[in-house]
Amino acid sequence: MRIRDFPISADSSGLRDDVDRFLRQRVCRGIVARVQAENALRPGLDPAAAADLLWTITSLRMWEDLVVHRDWSAEQYQEHVNRLLLVSLTKVAPDS
């Protein structure tokens, strides 16, 4: 990977955040591409939107909000977020 492959903040102190964000977005696009290749992406869901949703739902901020500030256990977080992602992004039926 080359440094010019991702956008950099005007403030160089944000470089680490920029790199982390870029890498997570790239991973999320790869996951969605795999789900789409397996014909499991929810019908009508744009792959770019699915990657953005995956990126947002799996953010550190969401984990902190639920586990740190709302006292969820790590197990609760994992269970609920996994279910949310499956139902939101794939062909899995809501009651499966």
**Structure confidence by residue, pLDDT tens digits, 40-72:** 999 999 999 999 999 999 999 999 999 999 999
73 assigned to some structural domain: yes
Q: Are 17 and 10 in contact (CB under 8 A)?
A: no
How does pLDDT run across 8-30, given as a tens digit for each residue? 555 555 666 677 777 889 999 99
Are the C-beta atoms of residues 30 and 48 closer than 8 Å to each other? Answer: no
| Structural domain contains residue 2 | no
Residue 94 belongs to some domain of the structure: no
How is residue 47 written in tokens?
């792959």
Query: How many domains would you assign to the chain?
Result: 1
Show the domain range for 58. 12-89
Q: Which helix (H) or strand (E) holds 70?
A: none
Q: State pTM to two decimals.
A: 0.77
Examine residue 25 and state whether it is found in any structural domain, yes or no. yes
Q: How far apart are CA 85 and CA 77, in angstroms?
A: 12
Cα–Cα distance between 78 and 52 in angstroms, integer?
A: 19
